[in-house]
């Protein structure tokens, strides 16, 4: 990594960062300030631009008490000015007593610019950016900030750093353990692939009192067939009042492929249908010989015009795949009268 100051006709001096093979974090840290900003200075001001592969920039303030505060801004190929209020910086694990407070620039010790998988997720490999004209200001006359949006945390959707970069991704295919959606045709894998971390699945009927279910839909696999990560997933609450789906690929061209257009359409239709398994399977991951096997299921249901719902239980041999138990409950129709999940016990 090379950080160097270069002359520039517009700003006189700019910080030029050239990061080679980013695989964690890398940042330039300023010397400690001799004089902290005046209390009236509530905004951090700077200009920045990114190289062809560098789409985001992490900015960190450290206060004199050791607390750390991060903001992430989008970068463009051309110079752009950024004006960040104190509220744009979020607390980062450091001083626990400061977690519920806010950045105070009047106690600022130093500022840093860089990249980190925790804050600029999806950026790996060689990266490049420029920063200039850094300072603080009162921000007089500025009343609206296009990046100052306070979204609540939504798994899969926000914040953006909930993905990681994958390497050796040969194919993107439907998740083997799900039966909600299929893909008609082969999906062309983009050059850069991001994925969602693994999450607990609804395997087994064990009444875990979970507050949501996450269903992986698409996954990336390597040239040897190894799992690289989850590419698309569906998330919903038990009453189906909150439901959303997400796909982790950033390249817009990925979604113009005919198989992906059909996938998105089918996904929306399936979400509108409104009948989902909440959990299902056996009450134990293994049984001793002779013990009765108990299986069951919990179902989420929302009134829909798609007909009646039934639950089918099958038990198959692991070695051959031969079905040794199959039952629809009851008699091919599983009536549900409300959004409350019903349970089936078969023994």
Instruction: Name the residue with higher pLDDT: 33 or 339.
Output: 33
Section 154-182 average pLDDT: 85
Asked whether residue 59 is assigned to any structural domain, the reply reads yes
pLDDT of residue 334: 36
Stretch (H or E) spanning 264 = helix 258-273
Domain ranges, residue 25:
2-150
Each residue of 248-273: b (16+ CB within 10 Å) or e?
bbeeeebeeeeebeebeeebeebbee
Could you write out the DSSP letters of every residue in 269-331? HHHHH-EEEEEEEESSS---TTPPP-EEEEEEE---TT--EEEEEEEE-TTT--EEEEEEEEE
Per-residue pLDDT tens digits for 282-314: 888 888 888 887 887 888 877 655 556 778 888
pLDDT at residue 332 greater than cutoff 70: no
Asked whether residue 156 is assigned to any structural domain, the reply reads no
Asked whether residue 23 is assigned to any structural domain, the reply reads yes
DSSP 8-state secondary structure symbol assigned to residue 261: H
Asked whether residue 203 is assigned to any structural domain, the reply reads no
Asked whether residue 158 is assigned to any structural domain, the reply reads no
Lowest mean pLDDT among 186-195, 252-261, 321-330: 321-330
Asked whether residue 78 is assigned to any structural domain, the reply reads yes
CB atoms within 10 A of CB 227: 15
Does the pTM surpass 0.75? The reply is no
pLDDT of residue 143: 56
User: Pairing relation of β-strands 213-221 and 193-195?
Assistant: unpaired
pLDDT at residue 278 greater than cutoff 60: yes
pLDDT at residue 117 greater than cutoff 90: no
CB atoms within 10 A of CB 279: 22
pLDDT of residue 207: 67
Contact between residue 245 and residue 215 where contact means Cβ atoms under 8 Å apart: no
We report the CATH number of the domain holding residue 108 as: 2.60.120.430
pLDDT of residue 291: 81
Tokens 């999450």, residue?
Answer: 199
How many domains does the chain fold into? Answer: 1
Contact between residue 234 and residue 199 where contact means Cβ atoms under 8 Å apart: no
pLDDT tier at 163, thresholds 50, 70, 90: confident
Asked whether residue 125 is assigned to any structural domain, the reply reads yes
Asked whether residue 281 is assigned to any structural domain, the reply reads no
Summary mean pLDDT of the chain:
85
Q: Look up residue 264 and give its two tokens.
A: 């998105």
Q: Considering only CA atoms, which of 33, 96, 106 is closest in space to residue 66? A: 96
CA torsion angle 178 228 122 87 (round to 10): 50
pLDDT at residue 336 greater than cutoff 50: no
Q: Look up residue 276 and give its two tokens.
A: 């989902």
In 3-state terms, the chain is what percent helix, strand and coil (to 5)?
10, 45, 45
pLDDT of residue 97: 94
pLDDT at residue 335 greater than cutoff 50: no
pLDDT tier at 149, thresholds 50, 70, 90: low
């Amino acid at each position: 990594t090379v950080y160097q100051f270069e002359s520039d006709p517009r700003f006189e001096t700019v910080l030029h960062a050239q990061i080679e093979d980013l695989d964690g974090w890398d940042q330039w840290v300023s010397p400690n300030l001799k004089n902290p900003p005046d209390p009236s200075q509530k905004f951090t001001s700077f200009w920045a631009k990114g190289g062809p592969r560098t789409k985001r920039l992490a900015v960190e303030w450290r206060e004199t008490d050791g607390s750390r505060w991060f903001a992430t801004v989008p970068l463009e190929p051309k110079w752009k000015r950024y004006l960040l209020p104190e509220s744009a910086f979020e607390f980062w694990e450091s001083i626990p007593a400061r977690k519920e407070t806010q950045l105070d620039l009047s106690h600022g010790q130093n500022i840093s610019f860089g990249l980190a998988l925790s804050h600029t997720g999806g950026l790996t490999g060689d990266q490049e950016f420029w920063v200039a004209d850094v300072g603080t200001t009162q921000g007089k006359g500025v009343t609206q900030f296009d990046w100052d949006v306070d979204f609540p945390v939504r798994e899969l959707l926000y914040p953006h750093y909930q993905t990681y970069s994958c390497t050796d991704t040969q194919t993107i295919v439907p998740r083997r353990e799900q039966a909600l959606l299929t893909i008609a045709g082969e999906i062309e894998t983009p050059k850069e692939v991001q994925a969602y971390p693994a999450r607990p699945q609804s395997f087994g009927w064990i009444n875990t009192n979970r507050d949501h279910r996450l269903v992986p839909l698409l996954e990336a696999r390597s040239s040897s067939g190894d799992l690289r990560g989850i590419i698309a997933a569906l998330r919903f609450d038990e009453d189906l009042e909150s439901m959303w789906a997400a796909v982790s690929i950033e390249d817009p061209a990925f979604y113009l492929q005919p198989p992906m257009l059909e996938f998105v359409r089918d996904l929306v239709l399936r979400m509108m249908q409104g009948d989902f398994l909440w959990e299902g399977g056996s009450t134990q991951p293994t049984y001793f010989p002779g013990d009765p096997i108990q299986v069951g299921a919990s179902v989420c249901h929302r009134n829909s015009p798609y007909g009646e719902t039934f639950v089918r239980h099958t038990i198959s041999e692991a070695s051959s795949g031969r079905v040794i138990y199959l039952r629809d409950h009851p008699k091919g129709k599983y009536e549900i009268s409300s959004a409350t999940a019903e349970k089936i016990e078969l023994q």
